[in-house]
Amino acid sequence: MPTDSAEFFDPPRTPSPPREIAKQPTLMSSKVVPEDAEPFSDYQNRPNKKRPLAAEDAADLPASVVVVEKSTTNVKNATTTAASTLTEKEAPSQPRGQVDASIISTDGDDRTSKDYYFDSYSHHAIHEEMLKDEVRTRTYEMAIMQNSHLFEGKTVLDVGCGTGILSMFAAKAGAKHVYGIDCSSIVEQARKIVDINGFSDQITILKGKVEEVELPVTEVDIIISEWMGYFLLYESMLDTVLFARDKWLVKDGIIFPDKAVMYICGVEDGQVKKDRIDFWGDVYGFDMSPIKDLAIKEPVVDVVDAKAIVTDSVPILRLDILTCKKEDLEFTSKFRILAQRNDYIHGLVAYFECAFTQVHKPIGFSTAPFCRYTHWKQTIFYLEDNLVVCEGEQLEGEISCKPNKKNPRDLDIDLSLSFSGEHSDVVKNMQYRLR
Backbone φ, ψ for residue 267 (5° rounding):
-135, 140
Distances from the Cα of 71 to the Cα of 53, 138, 313, 408, angstroms: 17, 12, 24, 36
d(CA 319, CA 50): 22
Question: Cα(410)–Cα(404) distance, rounded to whole angstroms?
Answer: 5
Q: Considering 129, 141, 226, 268, which one is annotated as catalytic?
A: 226
Nearest to 155 by CA among 171, 143, 139: 171
d(CA 119, CA 108): 16
The one-character DSSP state at 73 is P
Active site residue 56: no
247's CB contacts (< 8 A; 6+ apart) are: none
**Dihedrals phi, psi of 241, to nearest 5 degrees:** -65, -40
Q: Which among 69, 129, 235, 268 is annotated as catalytic?
A: 235
Is 226 a catalytic site residue? yes
Q: How many CA atoms lie within 13 A of 410 on its CB side?
A: 17
Closest CA to 257 of 219, 221, 229, 227: 227
For 19-164, where are the alpha helices, taking DSSP H only? 113-120, 124-132, 134-145, 148-151
| Cα distance between residue 144 and residue 254, in whole Å | 11
Exposure string over 109-146, b if 16+ CB within 10 A, otherwise e: eeeeeeebbbbbbbbeebbebbebbbbbbbbbbbbbbb
Look up residue 285 and give its DSSP letter. T
Q: What is the Cβ-side half-sphere exposure of residue 133, based on CA atoms within 13 angstroms?
A: 25
Tell me if residue 150 falls in helix, strand or coil: helix
Instruction: Report the distance separating Cα 408 and Cα 187, nearest Å.
Output: 24
Angle between helices 124-132 and 134-145 (to 10 degrees): 70
What does the buried/exposed string (b/e) look like for 241-267 if buried means 16 or more CB atoms within 10 Å of the residue's CB?
Answer: bbebbeebbeeebbbbbbbbbbbbbbb
Q: How far, in Å, CA of 353 to CA of 367, rounded?
A: 6
Give yes or no for a contact between 415 and 348, defined as CB atoms under 8 angstroms apart.
yes
In the chain, the amino acid numbered 385 is D
Q: So which residues are the catalytic ones? A: 226, 235
